[in-house]
């Protein structure tokens, strides 16, 4: 059964003076989803989150939450943040240093004038869930960054909101803590069944946490989809280049077939046939230049002598080259590879062979790729 719609943006826009930050944004968040709004600085993602929370009013369109309009300048409706019942964790955590962990978490319930015995029960329950029950009496200044983040999460969840908003919550943590907190937040979301909207510029965070990613650029949605769709089937050059390392190979269109396949020429050799899955724009015409886009992890680098001995790889494309520069970086090698037509690629290659500079190699990858205009 399809989850019900919890939140909708309908043609929402936001400007500061003459600068338009969000342009005609229409998105939908379903109940129980973990959605990442992903994009570079200045793309409008944090502004969108602040409009959801009620910290910024929109200039156009409307925002609908649980079937009710909560922001619509045309209709003169604006529900203030404290009336929306949403939890939010800020980038800075906003923990009050003069309060204990217990007092920080209890604060939203005190504002709601909840009885003391009920407050005590709710605070103890949520502190146990986030693993801070034994630290209830500690001052906030005595906590590590990860512990402060847990306090901020507990404070945002203690009043049982329908939706939790996270604004770059891991940006102040070191790499090890970020990895740990990603796992903890995902487990917490599954346990509580809460809807989470998560703003980040970090591709790994979005790919690992989200059920669905909304990719933004310059105030617009570039693409929406599952992490797999966004990573493996980018619809625009911006999404392709933002999501992970892509190797771009120059080629020329030799033929376009009726079955979705095309033939390209590279190295001045015979045409090779491949299947392209991106039909979001017109392909270059016959004889025009194009770019073959391949994720770096899809490329296999094989010593020439081994590649010539192998057979049964008709489904793979093969290009010849040599290792120009080789750097040992511990778990793998960093290599600059020069193809036979002079094109150079920067790749990381595994320690599966005894590599050396000047070595002849073969690049191999599957024939199903994306092809883009040059």
Residue with tokens 């600068």: 19
pLDDT of residue 174: 80
Question: What is the spatial distance between Cα 203 and Cα 200, in angstroms, rounded to a whole number?
Answer: 8
Task: Give percent of the chain with pLDDT exceeding 70.
Answer: 95
pLDDT of residue 2: 59
Separation in Å, CA 92 to CA 166, 178, 197: 11, 14, 17
Phi first, then psi, for residue 27 (nearest 5°) are: -140, 160
The SS3 assignment for 6 reads strand
For 305, other C-beta atoms within 10 Å of its C-beta total 11
pLDDT of residue 314: 60
pLDDT tens-digit series, residues 253-306: 888 887 768 888 886 677 888 888 776 667 777 888 888 899 988 899 999 888
Pairing of strands 300-303, 34-38: unpaired
CATH class, range 5-233: alpha beta
Q: Give the right CATH number for 246-373 from 3.40.50.10320, 1.10.490.10, 1.20.120.550, 2.40.50.100.
A: 2.40.50.100
Residue 214 predicted with pLDDT over 90: yes
Q: Where are the domains of the chain?
A: 5-233, 246-373
Separation in Å, CA 21 to CA 11, 45, 75: 13, 9, 22
The SS3 assignment for 213 reads strand
Separation in Å, CA 317 to CA 109, 249, 273, 291: 62, 12, 9, 14
For 209, other C-beta atoms within 10 Å of its C-beta total 23
Tokens of 106: 């209890």
Core vs surface per residue 238-276: b (16+ CB within 10 A) or e: bbbebbbebbbbebbbbeeeeeeebbbebeeeeebebbb
pLDDT of residue 277: 75
To the nearest 10 degrees (0 to 180), the angle between helices 116-129 and 175-192 is: 120
Going by pLDDT thresholds of 50, 70 and 90, the confidence category of residue 221 is very high
Tokens of 336: 């600059």
Q: What angle do CA 110, 113, 119 make, to 5 degrees?
A: 55
pLDDT tens-digit series, residues 97-123: 889 999 999 999 998 999 999 999 999
């Amino acid at each position: 059964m399809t989850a019900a719609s919890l939140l909708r943006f309908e043609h929402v826009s936001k400007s500061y003076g003459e600068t338009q930050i969000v342009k005609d944004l229409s998105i939908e968040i379903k109940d129980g989803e973990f959605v990442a709004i992903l994009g570079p600085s200045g793309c409008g993602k944090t502004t969108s989150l602040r409009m959801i929370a009620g910290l910024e009013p929109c200039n156009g369109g409307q925002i609908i939450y649980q079937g009710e309009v909560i922001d619509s300048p045309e209709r003169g409706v604006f529900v203030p943040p404290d009336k929306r019942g949403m939890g939010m964790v800020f980038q800075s955590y906003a923990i009050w240093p003069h309060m204990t962990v217990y007092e920080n978490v209890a604060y939203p319930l005190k504002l709601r004038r909840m009885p003391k015995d009920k407050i005590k029960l709710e605070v103890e329950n949520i502190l146990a869930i986030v693993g801070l029950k034994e630290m209830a009496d500690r001052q906030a200044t005595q906590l590590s960054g990860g512990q402060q983040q847990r306090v901020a999460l507990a404070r945002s969840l203690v009043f049982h909101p329908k939706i939790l908003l996270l604004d770059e919550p891991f940006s102040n943590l070191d790499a090890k803590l970020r990895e740990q907190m990603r796992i903890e937040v995902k487990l917490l979301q599954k346990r509580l069944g809460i809807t989470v909207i998560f703003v980040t510029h970090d591709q790994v965070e979005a790919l690992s946490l989200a059920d669905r990613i909304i990719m933004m650029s310059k105030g617009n949605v570039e693409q929406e989809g599952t992490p797999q769709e966004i990573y493996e089937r980018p619809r625009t050059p911006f999404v392709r280049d933002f999501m992970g390392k892509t190797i771009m190979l120059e080629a020329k269109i030799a033929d376009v077939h009726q079955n979705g396949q095309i033939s390209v020429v590279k190295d001045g050799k015979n045409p090779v046939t491949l299947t392209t899955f991106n039909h979001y724009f017109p392909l270059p015409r016959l004889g025009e230049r194009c770019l073959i886009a391949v994720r770096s992890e899809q490329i296999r680098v094989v010593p020439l002598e081994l590649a010539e001995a192998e057979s049964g790889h008709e489904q793979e494309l093969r290009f010849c080259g040599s290792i120009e520069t080789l750097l040992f970086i511990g778990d793998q090698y960093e290599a600059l590879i020069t193809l036979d037509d002079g094109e150079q690629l920067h790749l990381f290659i595994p320690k599966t062979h005894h590599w050396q500079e000047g070595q002849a190699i073969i690049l191999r990858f599957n024939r199903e790729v994306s092809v883009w205009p040059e």
